[in-house]
Amino acid sequence: MLPSSGQEVYDMIMREIEPDLVTDQIELMGEKYKDETPEQKKARGERYQKAFAEYDVRYAQYLTEQQTMVHSFKRNLIASVERNSSDDDQAKIDSLESAFSTTA
């Protein structure tokens, strides 16, 4: 099932990269990191910068995958419509041929 919102897409991707940055965790950071040292805070900030850079890469991949799936679906749908249309047209031709041969 596809995510229904931008937040769901963001959380789906970021959860694999840096769970601290998933939207429901952001409010908890203050308490979680209240006792960290300035060095730890700096290291965490650097980790988050890397996480956002990785997010950008994975989000671009996600968009490409979604676009590919949509195009594939469209191609398959068009092919199906063409097949069904051809079958219907052939059935009409067969019916007409049958009608002409019985009246002749």
Question: pLDDT tens-digit profile of 83-99?
Answer: 777 766 667 666 766 76
Task: Provide the phi-psi class of 36: left if phi over 0, else alpha when psi is between -120 and 50, else beta.
Answer: beta
- Asked whether the predicted pLDDT for residue 104 surpasses 60, the reply is no
Residues 6+ apart with CB under 8 A from 11: 22, 23, 24
Look at residue 1 and tell me if it is in a domain.
Answer: no
Domain span at 83: 6-103
- pTM for this model (two decimals): 0.71
Look at residue 30 and tell me if it is in a domain.
Answer: yes
pLDDT mean across residues, the chain: 87
Residue 4: its H or E element: none
Domain tally for the chain? Answer: 1
